[in-house]
Structure 1
Amino acid sequence: MEPRLTVITLGVEDVDRSLAFYRDGLGFPVLERFGEFICFELNGFALALYPREAHAEGANLDPETTGTGDVSLAHNVRTREEVDELVAEAEAAGATITEPPGETDWGGYSAYFTDPDGHCWEIAAGAELFEQFI
């Protein structure tokens, strides 16, 4: 299998609430909307939203046993100031800040927040390994 990522789909409870969070709150550009399937264009791949139950059922999973698990989506930036700005933007959009911006044990600067469905995001600066993706 070729190592690449094309789409991350998040199962959400309320598609319209999540659309408002990502499109209006964070400024993600909508690529397409097919009913309750919403796709945002990111840098080189897509982020999709789909009702949680329909998403689980499409994968032949019990919707009662699925969840966000121990996964985070990371957005790396160049400066600490950008981390602060993006975390403030996310909070204004309705995110819950789970770890405020601060120094990390790996020498960088990062923060964590969750979207309205509990999907975890990290905003980080100083991770040289990932600078090629910024």
Structure 2
Amino acid sequence: MEPRISIITLGVADLARSHRFYANGLALPTTRSPSEGIVFFQTQGTTLALFPYAELAADVGPGYAEPRGKFAGITIAHNVRTRSEVDAVLAAAAAAGGQIVKQADATDWGGYSGYFADPDGYLWEVAWGAFPINDDGSLTIS
């Protein structure tokens, strides 16, 4: 397998609401609308997709239709270039209807980060200081 993650798909309760949150609130670029049944956001390196939860569960197979708990054991990280960007991204998420679940603070690894939950409860960490960010937005992790 090549070392690449192509698409991360989030199963959402309300496709239009989630589209507004990511497209309008966080300004992620997309050419899709909820009327198409799935929305893709082009990010640097990986595409983020939104798909109705029940349809995604059915695609996976029998036994996956149960709603997940408060913490599904996964977070999505968005690393930024400056410490002040952490606060700006968290503020944008809150203004768009996201919930701040952990205020930004200094970390034990020498950085600065906080968490927000999107309208479906998916957790995003916004972090600064852990890894150098390349010009193309990718990380260098050594």
**Structure 1 gaps, min length 5:** none
Q: Percent identity?
A: 45
TM-fit CA distance, 1:31: 3.7
Partners of 1:43 and 1:120 in 2: CA distance: 19
Matched, 1:131 2:133: yes
Residue aligned with 1:94, SS: coil
Runs of 4+ in 1 over 6 A off after TM superposition: none
TM-fit CA distance, 1:105: 0.8
Of 100, 105, 108, the match for 1:105? 108
Of 82, 86, 103, the match for 1:83? 86
TM-fit CA distance, 1:78: 1.4
2:133 aligned partner, one-letter code = E
TM-fit CA distance, 1:3: 1.3
Of 97, 107, 118, the match for 2:121? 118
Aligned partner of 1:7 in structure 2 is 7
Deviations 1:89-121 (A, max 9, x none): 110001100100110011100000100000000
Matched, 1:53 2:29: no
Q: Which has the higher strand share?
A: 1
Deviations 1:25-52 (A, max 9, x none): 0001114347221111100221000000
Partners of 2:108 and 2:77 in 1: CA distance: 17
* TM-score, with structure 1 as normaliser: 0.92
Deviations 1:50-87 (A, max 9, x none): 00010011010421154661101000011110001111
Aligned partner of 2:66 in structure 1 is 64
2:65 aligned partner, one-letter code = P
**Structure 2 gaps, min length 5:** none
1:3 aligned partner, one-letter code = P
The number of residue pairs the alignment matches comes to 133
Partners of 2:17 and 2:67 in 1: CA distance: 22
User: Structure 1 residues 27, 54: CA separation in 2 closer, same or farther (over 3 Å shift)?
Assistant: same
* TM-score, with structure 2 as normaliser: 0.87
Partners of 2:54 and 2:24 in 1: CA distance: 24
